Chains A and B, each alone.
Chain A
Amino acid sequence: MKGSKLPIACDADNRLEVVLPDNVHPTSISRTVRLGTERLRRLYPIVILAIVLLLVIPAALEPFRLGLVGKYLCFAFCAVGLVLAWGYGGILSLGQGIFFGLGSYIMAMYMKLEATSADPAAAVFGAGGPPVPDFMTWNSVDTLPWWWAPFEHVWFALPAIVLLPSAAAFALAYAIFRKRIGGIYFSIVTMALASIFVLVIIGQQGYTGGTNGITNLPTFLGYSVQSDQAVYTLYYVSAGLLILTILAGTFVLKSRLGKVLIAIRDQEDRVRFSGYDPAMFKAVIFAIAAAFSAVGGALFTLQLGFASPSISGIAPSIEMVIYTAVGGRLSLIGSVYGALLIGGAKSLFSEQFTNGWMYFMGALFIVIPMFLRTGLAGLVSLVSHKKVRAS
């Protein structure tokens, strides 16, 4: 449109729009067609992702492999959240594992209580009160702690998966950002918190299952989560929820909220003089990222049948960052491919050349930040731009 004499403006979706002179009727056909194809073009990446996730992968893989991909998808939730928080909000969280872990543990608590109440042997212990999970009795915790009790209800546990981690994330982030502590300090604080989270879980074995985590979780709402049937169902649920998450993230980024975030990332001090409270916005985006991670964590427990501190610590939290970095820190969809590729590579390496894995990961951590900051998404857009220019 550049070079045209017609004034150009933006419409609500941030698309180019020709402001037509008064005497031209705005329902000019060519304009409608152009905007129509434009809108369709924008949908391509998400449609392709949906086809890959919902049709190609389930058709191509046997249940065992599909289960693995389902696991990678759980981490993709964290990666999508990090695009919002890090790519657009400039907040590099090295503690997404905390929220992943919270979601995972909340789901595990519900499933553990379900399994315990279904197990006649367990009822022997909680004399008089509700039945007590096996690992508690092993650690001589004889009554169910009060804060465990509400999680026996699915109507409490499911909302809690989203609400508890995001509320915790919001409170923490708002308190810190209000003090104008940010950047690298926030990263170090989240890293320390991830460390604390794991230490507490390990230290409070009687209530959390300690290093082993919470295991033996065979059912959810009475359905087995271990059958081949369940692998497919849970895979589709994960993929479906992930696509919904991406759509929600897209909605956030396309809205004025997304633009304020970019403004905060680039000129935080100036944003205050546009009348915004940056701490509030950063805390909100951090809470949204935490909620995404928590959903991933809950799905992880459903698919893998356990919750454990091993997926919450510093190393897994930083690994989530590299998923996002590989896929492209500014691309919601790219980050999903990042999580899938690295997850796939990890499985490949662990089966074929165990020693190579750490070198491969290490190299990724070095190469992407140094030479490919926009990740795969940046590479793709570079290639497609060149094509456009060539044609």
Chain B
Amino acid sequence: MSQRMILGVEDLSVSFDGFKAIDALNFYVEEKEIHVVIGPNGAGKTTLLDMICGKTKPSAGSIRFKGLNLERMLEYQITRAGVGRKFQNPTVYEDLTVAENLEISYPHKRNPLGCLFFRRDAVVLEEMRRIADLVFLTDEMNRKAGQLSHGQKQWLEIGMLLMQDPQLLLLDEPVAGMSARERERTGELLKRIAEGRSMVIIEHDMEFVKSVAHKVTVLHQGKKLAEGSMDRVQNDPRVIEVYLGS
């Protein structure tokens, strides 16, 4: 693993009832890299993210992140280590306001006692405002998250991730269900927040992928089919076959 590598997934496998969702996969993410994973339905993209963030336990293989073995850690420990996950369907805390959603995500003493005596001081407030501004939600701070539009929920979830200040973001279809205008804004947003962070993004929208990806990995039936720049991947005959042929 080179110095600039932040995530190293090696020989990773998992099966559900004998079905191999991920099969001996090797997958690396470098520092400050936006790495997009594409592939047909059932290729194992979401399962890969699930395993990195601890939601699913792999049956074999290792997931190394900054010298830690993530496959042996629990979800909240992985999150605290600096991995942030955004789910396919936006999951925000609907009964809390936007401000409270952001506040909860602020990485400070995430134990009961620490939470009991936590105060929203100037530093926290400033950070909340900065992030709200970044994800276009400044005017919605006091609204219940459940009342936001679908696109706004996506943004809020990205904002919650940013509050956590992770070094590695895992985004599952961040522009799904967004209007063209929202997609554009989200693309800019992702590029802006990518500075200093690494990202793994699952996305189907090829225009969007083209505009953000540093590197693209194509998954097919739990295995890596191709990897490289968008151009290279697009012209790979095997990829074309999987997407268009058969």
Contact = CB atoms under 8 A, between A and B. Distances in A.
Interface of A: 7-12, 14, 16, 19, 251-252, 255-257, 259-260, 262-263, 265-267, 269-270, 272-277, 280-281, 284
Given A7-B138, A9-B129, A10-B142, A256 B118 contact: yes
Nearest to A272: B75
A262 B142 contact: no
A170 B119 CA distance: 26
Contact of B160 (A265, A274, A276): A274
Contacts of B104: 256, 259-260, 263, 274
Interface stretch (B10-18, B30-38, B91-99, B204-212): B91-99
A174 to B, nearest CB: 11
Given A12-B121, A259-B104, A269-B55, 6 more contacts: A14-B100, A256-B103, A266-B95, A270-B92, A272-B79, A274-B164
B113 to A, nearest CB: 8
Contact of A262 (B55, B91, B96, B160): B96
A273 B105 CA distance: 9
Nearest to B170: A273
Contact of B110 (A16, A19, A276): A276
B85 interface: yes
Interface of B: 53-55, 74-76, 79-80, 84-85, 87, 91-97, 99-100, 103-105, 107, 110-112, 115-121, 125, 128-129, 138-139, 141-142, 160, 164
B93 A270 contact: yes
Nearest to B163: A274
A268 B115 CA distance: 17
A281 B110 CA distance: 10
Contacts of A252: 116
Identify the interface centre among B93, B95, B125, B138: most chain A CB within 10 Å of its CB.
B93
A10 B103 CA distance: 10
Given A266-B94, A274-B105, A284-B112, A8 B142 contact: yes
A275 B79 contact: yes
Contacts of B103: 10, 256, 259
Nearest to A2: B142
Contacts of B129: 9, 19
Given A10-B100, A14-B100, A281 B94 contact: no
A257 B80 contact: no
Nearest to A1: B142
A267 B79 contact: no
B83 to A, nearest CB: 9
Contacts of A273: 53, 75-76, 79, 84-85
Contact of B141 (A8, A12, A257): A8
Identify the interface centre among B76, B112, B118, B139: most chain A CB within 10 Å of its CB.
B112
A286 to B, nearest CB: 11
A14 B144 CA distance: 13
A284 B111 CA distance: 10
A269 B50 CA distance: 12
Contacts of A270: 87, 91-93
24 contacts: A7-B138, A8-B141, A9-B99, A14-B100, A16-B142, A19-B129, A255-B116, A255-B117, A256-B104, A257-B116, A259-B104, A262-B93, A262-B95, A263-B104, A267-B94, A270-B92, A272-B76, A274-B79, A274-B104, A274-B105, A274-B160, A275-B110, A277-B74, A277-B76
Contacts of A276: 76, 110
B97 A10 contact: yes
A5 to B, nearest CB: 10
Identify the interface centre among A19, A251, A257: most chain B CB within 10 Å of its CB.
A257
B112 A267 contact: no
Contacts of A10: 97, 99-100, 103, 120, 141-142
